[in-house]
Amino acid sequence: MPFHFQALEIEGVILIEPKVYADTRGFFMESYKRSDFEAAGVAGFFVQENHSQSRNGILRGLHYQCAPKAQGKLVRVIAGKIYDVAVDVREQSPTRGKWVAAPLSAENRRMLYIPPWCAHGFLVLSEEAEVIYKTTEEYSPDHERGILWNDPQLSISWPIVNPILSERDQLWPSLPSAAMPADVEISRVKAPGTTPTVK
């Protein structure tokens, strides 16, 4: 199989490591294969792809969309390195408010799948970084929501204390006040194994 899937400690969050074929000419890898991803619990079609560039110390997040436009995201880095974070925002979830994180970089070529019931954010650790992410729903400004990046209820261990934020990202509410992505259909994750939460 050209991918290794690890289910993290929030339902549906999956760390993906592609198999890389490298030689003196360079390398080749598959970055997405629908049949393998669906077998690992990453269900649904990707309908939009976004590409962002950010410099060192910039933090984007924590973002999500409400139903019926809740988005699953497949995140990967093609230049630089980021600290990628997912937070469970489901009201009735036993892991509500729990977060997991993974370093993603152009060097390790790992990807993170973030299901529709999670908020997402990342911090740039390198001089600059370029991030590409596919989504299972198109961007909808009317359904966009967010949670404050340093919400004390979450206690996310960001690698730096004073990141660079947009004005909007400084003004999101805390988790108890945030509108939840209700009515999201949850598919059970079939990916084997777990990996420790970064906390």
pLDDT by residue (tens digit) across 50-82?
999 999 999 999 999 999 999 999 999 999 999
Quote the DSSP letter at residue 172: P
> Helix (H, G, I), strand (E, B), or coil: what is residue 170?
helix
Residue-level pLDDT at 76: 98
**How far apart are alpha carbons 105 and 93 in whole angstroms?**
30
Q: What pLDDT is recorded for position 191? A: 37
**Catalytic member of 4, 32, 63, 143:** 63
Contacts of 199 by beta carbon, 8 Å cutoff, 6+ apart: 99, 157
Task: Give domain 44-108+115-177's CATH superfamily.
Answer: Jelly Rolls (2.60.120.10)
In the annotation, is 63 catalytic? Answer: yes
Mean pLDDT of the chain: 89
pLDDT at 181: 55
Q: Does 44 or 189 have the greater pLDDT score?
A: 44
- Identified catalytic residue from 64, 83, 113, 133: 133
pLDDT at 66: 92
Q: Across residues 84-108, what is the average pLDDT?
A: 96
Catalytic site includes residue 143:
no
pLDDT at 187: 38
Beta strands (DSSP E) in the chain are 3-7, 14-18, 20-23, 26-29, 48-55, 59-65, 73-79, 81-88, 99-105, 111-114, 118-124, 128-135, 144-146
Q: Is the pLDDT of residue 185 over 50?
A: no
